[in-house]
A and B are shown apart, each in its own frame.
Chain A
Amino acid sequence: MLKCRELAQLASEYLDGSGPKSLKWQIRLHLALCHNCRRFVRHLRTTRELAARVSALEPAPKGQSAKIVQILRSRD
């Protein structure tokens, strides 16, 4: 049986739906029996979904895109 620590390492792979099938079943079995790991995986899933919705990368510094366009035009 997988240990909780191993499960915590494999949780992303599990959420991404990758990894070998046999491992997936081992993870499912562990989750069926382990309340803590169920909570951990639920939190990780929520984190992934929340981050995908609220993350914003810093925009280009002001004037940076205009500077690039200037360079491109000068090379035409």
Chain B
Amino acid sequence: MIYCALFRHRPPAIPFLDTSPLQGRNTRTRVQPLTDTDNTDTEEAALIEAALAGDDQAYIRLIERHYSVMLTVATGIAGSSLAEEVVQEAWVSAHRALSKFEGRASLKTWLLRIVSNEAKNRAKRESRQQSLDALPGETDGLEGMKFRADGHWANAPAHWHLDSPEALLEQTQLHRCINKTLALLPPAQKAAFVLRDLEQRSFEEICQLLDISSANARVLVHRARLSLMQVIDRYQETGQC
């Protein structure tokens, strides 16, 4: 098995960002910031400064910004029963060092590392196995699809009458379906998917954060995408989740 230390490929450079048909009207600006931009960095630096100067509201906003993704990572590693406490402890560690945070890495990158370490230690202390769903197991995530014995499609992928991303973006009911499914993904799968497709992290970083092999990280992300694809399949067919 290839672990992170032996990671052979360069982290992918997110090739789809430049060609994404979802870029919106102005093709030169991203509709949604996909990484920390200078703006959010400046805003964040101001929040950190205010928080350190004793402004509780600024601190609350700072925590709220990163809470969900930290909780997702904590849950993926230590399980949902410990996750809230893990995030709390991560902030205690972060708090001690926040004044020394020099902004070389983005705050989120730094916080993700802290929460990951906290979760790994906590899982070890509680002698809890790493989430079992982190293991690829027997299935390949293709259960919903039908293949013939010779490896060809038995049922071809269904036609999507709403095929363009723009058309799908207008289906607010579908967005609810996607989020419902996202919330129900197995914790490690959800964490890998969120880090990859929502946070645009490299597989190298993901397997370090989640303490899984790079092959596992890829399998988890693929499975999550397949689950979400099946949500869209169903929606195309029935108009419902």
Contacts and interface: CB of A to CB of B under 8 A. Distances in A.
Interface of A: 3-6, 8-9, 11-13, 15-19, 36-37, 39-40, 42-60, 64-69, 71-73, 75
Q: B interface, by DSSP: helix, strand, loop or mixed? A: helix
A13 B218 contact: yes
A54 B218 contact: no
B193 to A, nearest CB: 8
Interface in B25-39: 31-32, 34
B228 interface: yes
Interface of B: 9, 12-13, 15-16, 20-22, 31-32, 34, 56, 59-61, 63-64, 67-69, 71-72, 84, 87-88, 91-92, 95, 140-142, 145, 147, 150-153, 156-157, 159-160, 163-165, 168-169, 174-175, 178-179, 182-183, 194, 197-198, 203, 218, 221-222, 225-226, 228-229, 232-233
A75 B16 contact: no
Contact of A6 (B71, B151, B226, B228): B151
Contact of A39 (B61, B84, B156, B226): B156
Given A58-B68, A75-B95, A43 B157 contact: yes
A46 B59 CA distance: 37
Contacts of A19: 9
